[in-house]
A and B are shown apart, each in its own frame.
Chain A
């Protein structure tokens, strides 16, 4: 016997069941709306590139700088892809930074490093997935609010990371891991970390836009009750989504180990805010029901490019922070305006 539905929604099954295929049917206008959003973000990015190219033409427009910006974007980018799924489903994952810290620390202990490249990669990914599993179980089956469950994970994972490191910096001595970050490892001029980022993005886009899993994610975020009545196992879907976010954190942790050559309990500091901000700027709805991987990636690139331009122009950190805040507001305002212009506000 299923749970009795609340009286007000007594006749909900039919329209709800209908509304799900409808969403698929109205794919085109929805896709168009996202395009407008992405377009405006592309505009912001173009303005940034112009500013960078104007202020520091030699340094900013160099190939090496493109490689640098993409590399710096890759770690947080992978986290953001996972976050986009979670937010699209109407959830939130505040624990991503802490999971990255825990995974990177666990994967760089002396004991793990003895297992070499594979040991480090395996540990990072499994710890990430494990944390995601705990999040997912608490939220989906323990009926905890995502905000609280992942906040608890944030605290515990950071604590455990500190416990393992004892506040020390764990330096990686496995050369095969470190070598992935150096110039010699670039494939056709593309850093391996950027390739991983690209792969995660493409897979993420395909899963969200071209699979049942993706459509279910959108449906759960749009109206969980309707999705349930339409036959979607909402709880299992939620579990999978936090697992996915954990997996992304695990991958990101490994990338961070390659990049920083070490594991530290301070790793992944404030990633949750960066990832959420990038996803929201990209056009993913914080209340769920709409998500765009392309937008999220553009959001990450906007942030990284801003940081890059500031550093190249040798601006002080205080100025950087002020300007970053202002640019976020400006980017969102431009978006709203473009949307209204397109008659979609």
Chain B
């Protein structure tokens, strides 16, 4: 059987080439030049003066896309802002069992307050109950537990409201146009939040009898799927007046598909509030004219709430002695007129 010679000139040549290519490539992994300005640092809730020291445990899913990454960044930078807050942050996981384990570890460490963004709200209810029974107040972030007993306070976005505000904005823009056609590029269809967004959107469109939703396709929150589904929608609908896209991340792909097809004859509204979308709205040179927020700053607010809970304080600006049991955030519509205000909250 022919053996491969240990060294050969060709081998050496290719080896050297491979190593230099490798060296060149490793120099290319940097993503440095992005200057990060952390949102919501200038709008504290409770008093800023250092109080009782609070250890907050934070457990979230794996930050595998922009919005979730922004959640982690917001939580961390908000905690750093307070000298009396120590943040115990777990490695994110999308696996329910793994996340339960992480929360239990935090309970055993006896943190003062827990902030939990569950990978799956219903599946983590039990561990929320455990924490509450152990006397650790839980701030449930965004994906809600199945039982109100599992959290002291819930804070999260308003998926229904997102759809509603997007629909109403489109309705106002097109109210003088008879028989206007609207299409919807939804997110991952097996998530409840996608259904809620669509429900809100449909309800809003009912306010405007001249509007008709002619098509709806679901992408899966990735750029790639956004491009693919949008390209198909554009082929299916040779003419329409407005498009609502549930998610700005997949919107990057959708905007590519629109540019590739050379279409400009409609108005597009995004969702979530990515930095790239806000930049495009500000530049006002594409079909994207607005985006409805699903603010990741909620993680910073959750840290504020957790700190207030740990120190036994209420929220300033409100008469209540205790912090509320639930807080639904408003899905603001960001347009060219107010984009500067929201730009710092945009996420990559």
Residue ranges of A at the interface with B (Cβ–Cβ < 8 Å):
2-3, 56, 58-59, 62, 64-65, 68, 71-72, 106, 109-112, 115, 119, 123, 126-127, 130, 133, 162, 164-171, 178, 181-183, 228, 231, 233, 236, 256, 259-262, 264-269, 307-308, 311-312, 314, 316-318
Contacts and interface: CB of A to CB of B under 8 A. Distances in A.
A183 B235 contact: no
> What 10 A-B pairs are tightest by C-beta distance, nearest first?
A311-B232, A167-B69, A261-B256, A168-B348, A317-B189, A112-B28, A266-B222, A167-B63, A2-B1, A111-B30
Contacts of A233: 1-2, 4
A106 B260 contact: no
A169 B224 contact: no
Contacts of A133: 18
A183 B218 contact: no
Given A126-B25, A169-B274, A260 B227 contact: yes
Contacts of B274: 169
A112 B24 CA distance: 10
A130 B22 contact: yes
Contacts of B189: 316-318
B235 A261 contact: no
Identify the interface centre among A106, A126, A183, A233: most chain B CB within 10 Å of its CB: A126
A197 to B, nearest CB: 15
B231 interface: yes
Contact of B259 (A166, A182, A269): A182
Contact of A267 (B62, B190, B224): B224
- Which of A71, A264, A307 counts the most chain B CB atoms within 10 A? A264
Given A169-B274, A259-B224, 12 more contacts: A64-B235, A65-B235, A111-B29, A127-B25, A167-B69, A168-B347, A169-B249, A182-B260, A183-B262, A266-B65, A307-B228, A312-B235
Contact of B232 (A68, A164, A269): A68
Contact of B223 (A56, A72, A178, A267): A267
B129 interface: no
A68 B233 CA distance: 11
Q: Range of interface residues on chain B? A: 35 or more
Given A127-B25, A167-B69, A311 B233 contact: yes
A307 B233 CA distance: 12
Nearest to A119: B28
B21 A126 contact: yes
A268 B222 CA distance: 10
A169 B252 contact: yes
B30 A308 contact: no
Contacts of A59: 235-236, 238
A237 B66 CA distance: 41
Interface in B255-306: 255-256, 259-262, 274, 276
Contacts of B261: 64, 183
A72 B232 CA distance: 10
Contacts of B228: 72, 307
A261 B252 contact: yes
B216 interface: yes
Contacts of A260: 223-224, 226-227, 252-253, 256
Contacts of B259: 178, 181-182, 261
A308 B4 CA distance: 49
Nearest to B262: A183
A253 B236 CA distance: 27
A55 to B, nearest CB: 11
Interface string B215-254: 1111011111111110111011010000000000100110
